[in-house]
């Protein structure tokens, strides 16, 4: 499919490319996306977990990611002790110091939160400024700290695994005193989807199977642990377990199928 971009979307493409690289923990300066993608970091060679061609394909399509100044994945005053302790546990493994004092990436990587601003809807219709400016990632749309979804995602590329530390706020109530099943499903979809995207590039959820084993208390912190089951062509199969913080109690388990898409799919191409 050939996509011809309106001039005003090209800046957004640059922005999206930069956004992708920030998600991967790297910086990219304006204009060097195609030429310097393999040398964009002072820390070493960039190794994207999916093929470079798919990134190039994405880079010529109008799906701009935009980073807001606030990173919702960083600790805030609403985080309880379990949330902070687990954050520190994984965050301390994101960067390690060598014997000669040099800092290197560790096995884990914290993913910053992001807001994506899609300018076009299915059929290539340009979204109104009002819709664009009001659109929020579902899990980040409650402004009050601690009221909704407080979470941070860490990925481990070596083990093709990811963990999410999630503290469920009071606005997520389902059964009295416990978390709504839809809120749990939302987190599972978000984290498995993020993991599949990290491993395979842009995907959409095709299938999600969830078994609820024991309720989650409102206000508590749980761990979502996701692993890659297999990849078959466009299909990425991910499984997920939701447990208490020391993994001794299983709350929920799920499997998901994610299908790789092109941006044309979202634009109705
Ligand atoms: C870049 C780095 C960023 C990292 C940081 C990212 C952060 C990111 C944070 C946000 C994370 C949020 C994550 C939310 C993710 C959603 O919630 S997505 C929203 C919910 N999902 C949807 O709305 C999807 C709606 N469905 C569709 O659009 C289309 O059905 C799909 C899923 C794209 C598939 O359509 P298609 O591409 O036409 O595929 P199709 O030809 O029908 O099927 C292809 C194959 O898949 C199989 N298949 C299709 N559907 C199914 C199914 N349901 N069950 C079993 N098999 C199926 C087919 O049988 C076929 O198999 P084969 O015959 O090839 O063996």
Does 58 map to a domain? no
Q: Cβ atoms within 10 A of the Cβ of 260, count?
A: 19
Average pLDDT of span 208-214:
98
Measuring from atom 11 of ligand 1, which residue has the nearest CA? 190
Whether the model clears a pTM of 0.90, i.e. scores above it, the answer is: no
What 3-state DSSP class applies to 121?
Answer: strand
- Residue 189 appears among annotated catalytic residues: yes
Q: What is the pLDDT of residue 63?
A: 35
Task: Single out the residue of 218, 221, 224 nearest to residue 187, CA to CA.
Answer: 224
What was the ipTM of the complex prediction? 0.94
Beta bridge partners of 221: 167
Does 39 map to a domain? no
Cα 159 to ligand 1 centroid, rounded to whole Å: 24
- Whole-angstrom distance, CA of residue 5 vs CA of residue 208: 34
Q: How confident is the model at residue 76 (pLDDT cuts 50, 70, 90)?
A: very high
Q: Cβ atoms within 10 A of the Cβ of 118, count?
A: 18
Q: Which of 9-18, 62-71, 175-184 has the highest mean pLDDT?
A: 175-184
pLDDT tens, 126-167?
888 888 888 888 999 898 999 999 999 999 989 999 999 999
Does 43 map to a domain? no
Helix-strand-coil split of the chain, %, nearest 5: 30, 30, 40
Q: How confident is the model at residue 69 (pLDDT cuts 50, 70, 90)?
A: low
Task: Single out the residue of 146, 139, 109, 8 nearest to residue 64, CA to CA.
Answer: 8
Does 25 map to a domain? no
Cα 269 to ligand 1 centroid, rounded to whole Å: 16
Does 120 map to a domain? yes
Of these residues, 82, 189, 229, 246, which one is catalytic? 189
Cα 255 to ligand 1 centroid, rounded to whole Å: 13
Q: What does the buried/exposed string (b/e) look like for 27-56 if buried means 16 or more CB atoms within 10 Å of the residue's CB?
A: ebeeeebeeebeebbeeeebebeeeeeebe
**What's the CATH code of the domain at 74?**
3.10.129.10
Q: How many domains does the chain have?
A: 1
Does 105 map to a domain? yes
Enclosing domain of residue 81: 68-267
Does 194 map to a domain? yes
Does 138 map to a domain? yes
DSSP assignment of 146-199 equals TTSEEEEEEEETTTTEEEEEEEE-GGGB-STTBB-HHHHHHHHHHHHHHHHHHH
């Amino acid at each position: 499919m050939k996509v011809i971009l309106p001039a005003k979307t090209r800046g957004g493409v640059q922005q999206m490319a930069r956004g992708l690289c920030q998600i991967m923990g790297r910086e990219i300066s304006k204009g060097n996306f195609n030429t310097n993608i393999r040398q964009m970091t002072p820390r070493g060679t960039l190794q994207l977990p999916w093929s470079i061609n798919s990134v190039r394909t994405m880079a010529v399509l109008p799906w701009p990611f935009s980073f807001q100044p606030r990173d919702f994945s960083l600790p805030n005053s609403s985080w309880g002790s379990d949330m902070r302790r687990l954050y520190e546990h994984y965050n301390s493994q994101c960067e390690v110091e060598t014997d000669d004092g040099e800092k290197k990436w560790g096995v884990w990587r914290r993913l910053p939160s992001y807001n994506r601003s899609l300018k076009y809807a299915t059929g290539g219709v340009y979204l109104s400024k009002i819709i664009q400016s009001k659109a929020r990632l579902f899990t980040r749309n409650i402004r009050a700290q601690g009221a909704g979804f407080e979470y941070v995602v860490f990925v481990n590329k070596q083990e093709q695994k990811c963990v999410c530390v999630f503290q469920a706020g009071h606005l997520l109530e389902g059964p009295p005193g416990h978390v709504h099943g839809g809120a749990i499903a939302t987190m599972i979809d978000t984290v498995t989807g993020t993991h599949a995207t990290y491993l395979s590039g842009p995907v959409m959820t095709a299938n999600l199977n969830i078994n609820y084993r024991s309720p989650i208390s409102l206000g508590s912190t749980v761990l979502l642990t996701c692993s890659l089951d297999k990849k078959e062509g466009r299909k990425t199969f991910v499984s997920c377990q939701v447990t208490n913080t020391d993994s001794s109690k299983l709350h929920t388990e799920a499997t998901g199928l994610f299908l790789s898409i092109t941006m044309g799919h979202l634009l109705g191409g």
